[in-house]
Amino acid sequence: MFDVIISGCGPTGAMLAAELRLHDVRVLVLEQETEPVSFVRIVGLHIRSIELMAMRGLLERILERGRQRPAAGFFAAIDKPAPEGLDSAYAYLLGIPQPVIVHLLEEHAIALGAQVRHGCAVAGFAQDDEGVTVELADGEQLRSRYLVGCDGGRSTVRKLLGVGFPGEPSRTETLMGEMEVGVPQEEIAAKVAEIRETDRRFSFGPAGVGVYRVVIPKAGVSDRAEPPTLEDFKQQLRTIAGTDFGVHSPRWLSRFGDATRLAERYRLGRVLLAGDAAHIHPPIGGQGLNLGVQDAFNLGWKLAAQIRGWAPETLLDTYQAERRPVAEDVLDNTRAQMELLSPEPGPQAVRRLLTELMDFDEVNRHLIEKITAIGIRYDFGAGPDLLGRRLRDIDVKQGHLYGLLHRGRGLLLDRTERLTVGGWSDRVDYLADPTAVLGVPCVLLRPDGHVAWVGDDQQDLDDHLSRWFGKPAN
Ligand SMILES: Cc1cc2nc3c(=O)[nH]c(=O)nc-3n(C[C@H](O)[C@H](O)[C@H](O)COP(=O)(O)OP(=O)(O)OC[C@H]3O[C@@H](n4cnc5c(N)ncnc54)[C@H](O)[C@@H]3O)c2cc1C
């Protein structure tokens, strides 16, 4: 008997497993693949995800394997510098191969005590009042109190749950791969620059010694079950560039579509959805993995609270209430970005106009805060602007604020030195620091770093501790 079974050990599943283990929840992750994927997609970790890694003490390990780049040029790949003074101690983009980040997160989850079984596909499940019976493809049955589908865009769990996944199907696809070329670099560079003047979806650039990474848009959709061939790449290159650049010796070939869909619900009884299982959209702006990891961060402590028995009645439902609108917004901004990438004259004119508008600091800042997810404000009711937002990392007398959040507990940061977390001290840490650079007297942080309360009154604080952390222990 497990507390939680997670279907899928991608970035979302691995992050969720680690978050649950911080609270001693018995977790089993089932991953259908036995080996890491062969294609190496470089993903960008945006500011909020980098902050989450810092909050759990993972950032140093990730920095060793990734490359820092300026936090700019995300929105529809419009080339503008990042605005000055973004509200984060980690205001950069971190480029890292997806298999590396997945490996690091899985390693972290296992180190915290999660069990991960590879080569095990979830094929069915049935839920009752006490738990979920999960059936694997080989017929083995396992039992847990909750099941979370983190099994990607074609999620088996979502389909079996019967949750609708409305949205737009793929209308175009993009071929992506790494291969060698038969012509000089200068010839390629000149042609690529010419094509990219009108079609920024196309790219063809060096990705290591003698190897090029090729990304080619293609009208229509093919059978997704069939991987693309080198001939598909050659044909499409001839159509777009008038030459296939003599491409040969592919390292890997892949394709992705532009479907945009959002699950109607994130929870049905004891079964929940997170990451691509709950939302899919084109990769423009590089938000999918970030969104999934942030779903896991939001869900982990709430599901753990439910299992440990201290969750207030509606806590678990705040997962959907908070995260589904965030996904809706990401889907919308990718729809807008896809329009802006179209080579048609109308969208190109809108793109030129937006490019001008982004010279206004507020416009540029708004778009960057949206894509990097540092602009998110959950609806916790009326209150000061900070309420519902995440708090940036700040210096405190014991070092960095985020350094105090590694254990995934709540935190009261008290500049008045008068307040107490009382009977919640088993779930919420306390730090008195009159020197902390904070525009308010005290903040209560949830384990995901969002501000659950701002003020200086003990009774008001106790009400909010109850709201988020349940009944006091004594
Ligand atoms: C070209 C491209 C570039 C991208 N770039 C970025 C980027 O820069 N930044 C970004 O944030 N996102 C990016 N993304 C999106 C990102 O890759 C996905 O959003 C991310 O992988 C979603 O993570 P996940 O864990 O939710 O799902 P997945 O990564 O799909 O993981 C799901 C896991 O579940 C397993 N699984 C499936 N079915 C079962 C089953 N029945 N039983 C057990 N296991 C199962 C799968 O094998 C897989 O390991 C990009 C995507 C593409 C296509």
Each residue of 214-273: pLDDT tens digit?
A: 999 988 887 777 889 999 999 999 999 999 999 999 999 999 999 999 999 999 999 999
Measure 39 CA to ligand 1 centroid, in angstroms. 12
- The reply to whether ligand 1 has any atom less than 6 angstroms from the CB of 442 is no
pLDDT for res 199 = 84
pLDDT for res 38 = 66
- The reply to whether ligand 1 has any atom less than 6 angstroms from the CB of 441 is no
HEC readout, 156-222 = HHHHHHCCCCCEECCCEEEEEEEEECCCCHHHHHHHHHHHHCCCCCCEEEECCCCCEEEEEEEECCC
Total residues found in the chain within this entry: 474
* Percent residues over pLDDT 70 in the chain: 100
Ligand 1 pocket, mutate which of 6, 151, 287, 334 (most atoms under 8 A from CB): 151
**Residue located nearest, by CA, to atom 3 of ligand 1:** 283
Q: Could you tell me if residue 162 is left (phi over 0), alpha (psi between -120 and 50 degrees) or otherwise beta?
A: left
Measure 414 CA to ligand 1 centroid, in angstroms. 40
Mean pLDDT taken over the chain: 95
- pLDDT interval class at 42 (50, 70, 90): confident
Minimum mean pLDDT among 161-170, 315-324, 335-344: which range? 335-344
